[in-house]
Chain A
Amino acid sequence: MKGGSSGSISDSANGEASGNANPVDHIRLTPDLIALAQGGACVILGAREADGRPVVGIGVGARVDAESRIRVFLDRRPNERLLAAIESGSGVAVTFTRAVDHASFQVKAESAKTARADPNDFPEVGRQCVVARDELNELGLPPQVAAAFGSFNPTSVVVVELTPAAAFMQTPGPGAGSPVRT
């Protein structure tokens, strides 16, 4: 599970600049965004619980198919509340951030599905974790800490599947918060 990004810190001017993205069925992600999402980025998820409160979760990796459908891999144990919210029909937000340069974008979907993980995905999830671990090492995190952040437990991995309806840049600086080119 990749969580810590040694200060890959953005407080990004994220989110809809206009606040009303086009209600299209879904958007297509550009190759550079797909590369970012599958390139060992820090993956965080948001949802809404039944009482209206937000809940946040952490992913370990992601895969994006040709239709821009995203499968986010995450450990069930620390994400029970997030998964319960999604299973209850909550909308979902997922933010991908590359530790080394803070490049970041967020996708949103009105709903998502949870599913069991396919072991055939584990080599790719493992590869993404290694990339993340190496980047965190490069940023100066102690090796044991980077190793912990860049690890996942195949026995408890589940999947959140979503089709993004909107995507927004979150890299800090000019342009942050704007809808991404799709």
Chain B
Amino acid sequence: MKAIPLESLRRSLEGIVAAFLATCDSDGAPNVSMISQVHFVDNEHVALSYQFFNKTRRNVLLTRMATVLVTDPVTVAVHRLDLDYEETQTDGPVFEAMKAKLAGIASHHGMEGVFRLLGADIYRIRSIEAVPCWPPLPAPAEHHLLAAVRRCVNDLDRCDDLESLLEETLACVERHFEIRHAMILMAEAGAERLYTVASRGYNRSGVGSEVAFGEGVIGVAAREKAAIRIGHMTAEYRYGATLRDTARKVGIVASLPAEIPFPGLKSPRSQIALPIVLRGALLGVLFAEAEETMRFGYDEEDALMTVAQHMGVLIGLLQDEQDATDPVEDIAPVKPDGIAVIRFHPHDQSVFIGHDYLIRGVAGAILWRLLTEFTESGRTEFTTRELRIEPSLRLPEYSENLDARLILLRKRLEERGACISLEKAGRGRFRLIVHCGVSLEKVIDAANSAAE
């Protein structure tokens, strides 16, 4: 039984103050160095950053013993951790969380390109000892994060559809955690990308902007289904490049639609991304950022992760309720005003109004499907259930995100000021409103026709 739980030292493990590491070689000769990261894994384990194959590394592999001093950056309390090396991880959530944190630390210290994480060395903790170095400074006031989580959960339970859940989550994050810049992205199953479906605290909403799996803290959190955070500004985890690179590699640059700009802060110093997961399946990512350094610590990560997990459960519940549908209300047809040419590119399911990019992927296919039906039969009322079983939409087998795609589509139509809009028409139902004549044009691109 350890007298001091590691959990109580997590502030000392943020990498704000360097840790000191000692090892011995097989002859007993000591070696001592600073180390960038001592990462909290659980109450029994820490992970140390392995960046170079150096003397420390050789010693650890030989003797499997190390000791490290960690310092609380606020109270200046120092603790000694005696450690036994267990294994090195070169991928997975712990590795990726450390890699992201290290990128921030490296950037902060002008060491980009020098610091590179080769592995996360996992150590079991033998003992923890307080070391009386300096008179302790006062501890900061408590944040009462548990109370904030409770209020958030309480507020979210009042949401009765996905759109209100998304908006209320961002409102809660601001109201109860004082986080002013946040967004929610949903996963495009099978495509290894996410699209922004709600945002708060930015000049433009960025709804529809995309992030590839593995790109930035958001994409890494999605790929690993793990919380990822950075406490300093770094170019390594920026957004925008990966999707373009991927597009180039698969040869679709020529027809890549104009990107919707990602709405993030220009100079964020702190970022955190929390996966929204339901029964092991990734639904999306809750993302927050700030201009201050080290805004999100281990405690904030725990709190926001709990909110994200609760979101996942609520999304699942809303999905289950969706099949119950309300009766259809008849509405008077809208008088057409002008004609809009709607162009659809089947290879990536992108839709353009005139020559202006609107949306792509499943949301694009949904709009095309609705407009086709509308022009053929004049129909304006639809159900989510029929979309779910519509083969032309190429929906994945589990389609938890269908509602999110409809929200995305509605918001994009609204932001574009299009003569077409969507509105809810009851539970599990929605209405297509077309204020203009529409002319549909399916564009088969020569470069991609072989793949059709």
Contacts and interface: CB of A to CB of B under 8 A. Distances in A.
A1 B32 contact: no
Nearest to B52: A13
Contacts of B33: 10-12, 14-15, 44, 95, 106, 170
A172 B49 CA distance: 14
Given A10-B33, A44-B20, A145-B76, A15 B55 contact: yes
Contacts, number: 184
Contacts of A78: 78, 131-133
| In the A-B complex, the 5 residue pairs with the closest CB atoms | A15-B55, A46-B32, A46-B30, A46-B22, A56-B22
B406 interface: no
B54 A9 contact: no
Contact of A5 (B18, B56, B137): B18
B370 interface: no
Interface string B22-41: 11110011111111100000
A55 B65 CA distance: 10
A15 B33 CA distance: 9
Interface in B80-103: 80, 82
A126 B353 CA distance: 72
B28 A97 contact: no
B28 A91 contact: yes
B452 to A, nearest CB: 51
A173 to B, nearest CB: 5
Contacts of B132: 77-78
B313 to A, nearest CB: 38
Contacts of B28: 48, 52, 90-91
A176 B54 contact: yes
Nearest to B134: A148
A173 B434 CA distance: 62
A84 B278 CA distance: 54
Contacts of B53: 13
A14 B56 contact: yes
A144 interface: yes
A8 B134 contact: no
Given A3-B78, A14-B56, A176-B52, A56 B21 contact: yes
A15 B134 contact: no
Interface string A85-112: 0000011111101000010101010100
Interface of A: 1, 3-16, 19, 42, 44-48, 52-56, 58, 75, 77-78, 90-95, 97, 102, 104, 106, 108, 110, 141-142, 144-145, 148-149, 151, 168, 170, 172-173, 176-177
Interface in B89-131: 105, 108-109, 111, 114-115, 131
Main secondary structure on chain B at its contact with chain A? mixed
Interface residues of B, number: 53
Nearest to A1: B133
Nearest to B135: A148
A172 B115 contact: yes
Nearest to A97: B34
Contacts of A12: 33-34, 52, 54
Nearest to B21: A56
Contacts of A141: 73
Contact of A58 (B25, B59, B69, B105): B69
Contacts of B49: 11
A56 B18 contact: no
B22 A3 contact: no
Most-contacted residue by chain A among B20, B29, B54, B63 (CB, 10 A)? B29
B58 interface: yes
Contacts of B159: none
B32 A102 contact: no
Given A6-B17, A172-B115, A92 B30 contact: yes
Contacts of A90: 28, 30
Contacts of A56: 20-22, 32, 67-69, 80
Nearest to A156: B132
Contacts of A55: 22, 30, 67
A46 B31 contact: yes
21 contacts: A5-B17, A7-B16, A8-B34, A10-B34, A10-B36, A13-B52, A15-B59, A16-B55, A54-B22, A54-B24, A55-B22, A78-B131, A91-B28, A102-B111, A106-B31, A106-B33, A108-B30, A145-B73, A148-B134, A148-B135, A151-B134
Most-contacted residue by chain B among A15, A44, A145, A168 (CB, 10 A)? A15
Nearest to B32: A46
